[in-house]
Structure 1
Amino acid sequence: MSQTPRVWRKFTVKSKDGELKLRIQDMPSDRLNDFIDICMKYFIPQETCNKTAGIYKSEEALAESREFVTRMINDIAKSPHNLLICCLDDDPEVVGEIIGASITKVDKKDDPERNLNFTTKTKEVGASFAIISKLISRYNALKDHKLDIFLNDRGVVVNPKYRGLGLAQMFFNVRRQICHDIGIPLTGAWMTAAGSQKAAARDGWETAYEMTYEDFGKETGIVFENVPPICKYMTGKPLQM
């Protein structure tokens, strides 16, 4: 990410601690470790697939997850606008505390199929990849919409202290702006949690595919606990600007 990070959105929210000035921008290259840290602290332990696999219970699995996340982010960072942060905006010249992160990747029709069936060191990481692989096999937006290019999700996370302020919805909205600006006809994501489903719906995303966690559990042999009734794949069209 050698080019100057782009600021996509500046906005103000009201929290219980008062008014907060925030911005969403491309991740600066010198904040890579902070980006990885927020993914490891909140996304890996709390995202439904990873949580169900029990990664947060094992130090070995957490260490393996960090290796995977670091490789993924370093690879994705080679292309612009794939890694976004939400940070405090008290000083426009300073990237403040990172309180949220979004990861996307531009997929193309002729790209090799994403394959998560590789050898892992820990059973927990293997279980997480198995769940994600099952999700991926359920729905393919590129094929279903007959697209040549697509902005695909790799995760979104918000520090729990700042949840309920609309930050996930803002990330989803910025993804749609990216689609508009660089000419991608659609973006999409598996919404495995109720919060992400509601945030995407508020931003105008549509449900392209859905299934009950009960049915998904029967297919995978996994008991999903503390999940919404439905797991959804949702898509968002480019902003009209």
Structure 2
Amino acid sequence: MVWTRPADVPYPSVWHTFKAKALDSDELVSYVVQDLPEDRFVDGINHMLGIFIYDEPMCRAKKLADEQASVDDIRDMWREVVKQRLALVCFREGSDEIVGLNMTFASCVDDRKDYVIHGDRWRDVHDAVMFFTEQSRVHESFHVDAYLSAMGLSVSPKYRGRGIATEILRARIPLCRAVGLKVTSTVFTAPGSQAPAVKVGFKDTFVMAYDELAKMEPRFEFPDIQGRCCKSMTLRID
């Protein structure tokens, strides 16, 4: 990853605040979406390892969590992602508990392509996601050298049903404006992330049904996967 955060953008910064239900009542309380602080990198990665790899449709279908090499691979990837200091975390105001997390990063034309993967299950998931990314041709279609992408969006189960994913995605807009990125694009694999993306204004750039994906490449068969299709979705930042 060749992109670096501009030195004049304070880190960590808060990018978005919103109201949603409290944890144990219908009272509306404040939440913030901000940069994941450096001293919470390990906590953020552990949050994803404890939730995302069990919930995300492709990872769940491949039973990725049962293959240690794949777990190590995805951990190593997130360790690189957070170094860009672009990952977004949601906290309830007054609490340091991670409510949700988006492993956002800048995807650049000149990024190295020699990423080494050891686990077969993560290789299948990763390559499927890369197929959708490549078909979207974001750099070429939107004429940008870099854009904000992501490798994982997760909300703690006890905080679901509050629109948290939508608000985390919404925080990408001020973040992109601040760091000079004109586009954000991500492969959304589940209805639970695709619907929030639509609410924020993301548009489909490449869509394929999972059964068609499996016909194209046997490695991309995801048994009993939740959802009908996978989507690459993109938002231009005004």
Kindly tell me: are residues 158 and 179 of structure 1, through their superposed partners in 2, closer, same or farther at Cα, counting changes over 3 Å? same
Kindly tell me: are residues 78 and 55 of structure 1, through their superposed partners in 2, closer, same or farther at Cα, counting changes over 3 Å? closer
Q: Which residue of 2 aligns with 1:24?
A: 33
Deviation at residue 229 of structure 1 after TM alignment: 2.0
Asked if structure 2 preserves the Cα contact closer than 8 Å seen for 1:25 and 1:85, the reply is yes
Q: Which residue of 2 aligns with 1:79?
A: 84
Kindly tell me: are residues 141 and 124 of structure 1, through their superposed partners in 2, closer, same or farther at Cα, counting changes over 3 Å? same
CA distance in 2 between counterparts of 1:193 and 1:224 reads 14
CA distance in 2 between counterparts of 1:29 and 1:87 reads 15
Deviation at residue 202 of structure 1 after TM alignment: 0.6
Kindly tell me: are residues 9 and 50 of structure 1, through their superposed partners in 2, closer, same or farther at Cα, counting changes over 3 Å? same
Deviation at residue 135 of structure 1 after TM alignment: 3.0
Kindly tell me: are residues 147 and 99 of structure 1, through their superposed partners in 2, closer, same or farther at Cα, counting changes over 3 Å? same
Counterpart residue type for residue 229 of structure 1 = R
CA distance in 1 between counterparts of 2:181 and 2:134 reads 23
For structure 1, list consecutive stretches of 5 or more residues without a partner in the other structure. none
- Offset from partner CA, 1:39-89 (integer Å, 9 cap, x none): 001111111221122113x2xx2x334433443333233323x11111121
Counterpart residue type for residue 108 of structure 2 = K
CA distance in 1 between counterparts of 2:114 and 2:166 reads 29
TM-score with structure 2 setting the length: 0.84
Q: Which residue of 1 aligns with 2:111?
A: 111
3-state SS in 2 of match to 1:9? strand
Q: Which residue of 2 aligns with 1:134?
A: 131
3-state SS in 2 of match to 1:44? helix
Q: Which residue of 2 aligns with 1:14?
A: 21
Aligned alpha-carbon RMSD (Å): 2.4
1:136-155 superposed matches below 5 A: 136-155=133-152
Number of residue pairs matched by the alignment: 227
TM-score with structure 1 setting the length: 0.83
Asked if structure 2 preserves the Cα contact closer than 8 Å seen for 1:151 and 1:179, the reply is yes
Kindly tell me: are residues 135 and 172 of structure 1, through their superposed partners in 2, closer, same or farther at Cα, counting changes over 3 Å? same
For structure 2, list consecutive stretches of 5 or more residues without a partner in the other structure. none
3-state SS in 1 of match to 2:17? strand
- Offset from partner CA, 1:162-206 (integer Å, 9 cap, x none): 112111111111112212222211101111100111000011111
Q: Identity of aligned pairs, percent? A: 25
Q: Which residue of 2 aligns with 1:203?
A: 200
1:160-199 superposed matches below 5 A: 160-199=157-196
1:82-93 superposed matches below 5 A: 82-90=86-94
Which fold has the larger relative contact order, with Cα–Cα distance below 8 Å and residues 6 or more apart in sequence? 2
Deviation at residue 225 of structure 1 after TM alignment: 2.0
3-state SS in 1 of match to 2:171? helix
